[in-house]
Structure formats: structure tokens, C-alpha cells
Amino acid sequence: MKALLLIDIQNDFVPGGRLAVPGGDAIIPLVNSLQTKFDLVVASQDWHPAGHLSFASSHPGRAPFEQIDLHGLPQTLWPDHCVQETPGAALHPALDTRRVEAIFRKGMAPDIDSYSAFFDNGHRKATGLTAYLRGRGVTDVYLAGLAGDFCVYFSALDALAAGFTTHVVTDATRAISDDGFRAALADMETKGAHLVLSSDLVADPGALLN
């Protein structure tokens, strides 16, 4: 079985949000079209408690996008974003969620960030996504969402490490940094991910056959 993973398509990550990804809302029509091509659609949702230690505001004198060491892990400091129960943490209202069977929340532990939909950044705790996909008989995962140089990238690496055949839908993904996205795409491809276009998946009836 092939599954579509929608990564963090949330209000705070689109233009007007607190950590906006340039053009982030442009992927929504693409992912909505893609959903009908898959038997299983799953989403992830950044879901931080207030005062999360990945927020620059939790470190007096520090500014967003500075780099620090956080309990032994490199950490980019972010603007406050996707705080639990705030409008910014909600999935984007234009995202069609009728086919989304499960939502895996991440980033809830206050002292460690979680880019990947599968694990926190230290691989100390799993979200349960791997077991869920295996339980459904998934062999291939297709990733789309935000942001391509962070959460999509690290989710793809973890999907590869878990043994899933991994595809990144490049035009249904947007990144914070163009240079960062190019580097992420190159690294994902080197490690075995397949880079695909949504138009190919939608146009070719045989592209997603089991």
C-alpha cells in the first residue's frame, strides 16, 4: 500500500503565519488533488506547548534563527509558532481533511524539538507513525508539505531509515530557504528517496498502482 503523508500544513507555516514558509499556501490545491490517488492519507501537526525551548522567546537575549545547543542537540531558535490550541496551530482551512485518517502531533515535549513526523530530533521518542503505517501494510510513502528543508526533509530521512520506499513530491513542498531545500533534496536523493512531481502522479493512472 502507498500512503500520502501531509507534513505540517498549518496556519503558522503559510503567508501571514508566525513562521511563514514562502508560498506555503500554494501547495494546498496540489495536495488536495493528490489525496484522491491514495488509499491512505495521514497528516502531521506541530503542536508545541507555550514556552517551548525551541522558541527564541524562551532564551532571553537570543533572536529567532540563531543556533544554540539544546541539551546536546543543535537547535535553531524559532519564532513562537504552532502553540497548542491557537489558530496558528490549526491545519489550514483550505486543506481537505476528509480523507485524512490520522493526525500525528509532534513537538509536544517542551525541551526537545521534533521536525520529523516519526521521531523527536534526538530519536528518543517515537510518534507512533512507523507502527501505524506498518500496521496498515504500507510499503511506500509520498511526502508533501512544509517545510521542505526541515520537517519534510527529516520525515523523509526517518521514513527511509524505517525501510519505506520514500518519495518526495517536490512541487507540493515549500521550504524556508531555497538553498536549504536544494541541499535537502540532494541529500534525500543520495540516501535513496525518489523525487516526483504531483502532475505525474495525477496524470498517470498507473503511477500509484500497487
Identify the pLDDT of residue 56: 96
pTM of the model: 0.94
Q: Nearest-CA neighbor of 51 among 12, 108, 117?
A: 108
Query: In a structure prediction context, what are the per-residue pLDDT tens digits for the chain, which is 210 residues long?
Result: 999 999 999 999 999 999 999 999 999 999 999 999 999 999 999 999 999 999 999 999 999 999 999 999 999 999 999 999 999 999 999 999 999 999 999 999 999 999 999 999 999 999 999 999 999 999 999 999 999 999 999 999 999 999 999 999 999 999 999 999 999 999 999 999 999 999 888 876 555 544
Distance (Å, whole) CA 159 – CA 140: 9
Residue linked to cell 503559510: 14
* One-character DSSP codes across 177-209: -HHHHHHHHHHHHHTTPEEE-HHHHHH-TTTT-
Q: Nearest-CA neighbor of 104 among 35, 43, 39, 41?
A: 43
Q: Please state the separation of Cα 180 from the chain's center in Å.
A: 15
Identify the pLDDT of residue 200: 85
Domains of the chain plus CATH, in order, are 2-51+82-202 (3.40.50.850)
- How many other C-beta atoms are found inside a 10 Å radius of the C-beta of residue 71? 11
Identify the pLDDT of residue 207: 57
Angle between helices 178-190 and 151-161 (to 10 degrees): 10
The grid cell for 98 is 476528509
Identify the pLDDT of residue 208: 59
Identify the pLDDT of residue 210: 46
Where in the sequence numbering do the catalytic residues fall? 8, 106, 151
Identify the pLDDT of residue 204: 62
Distance (Å, whole) CA 32 – CA 92: 12
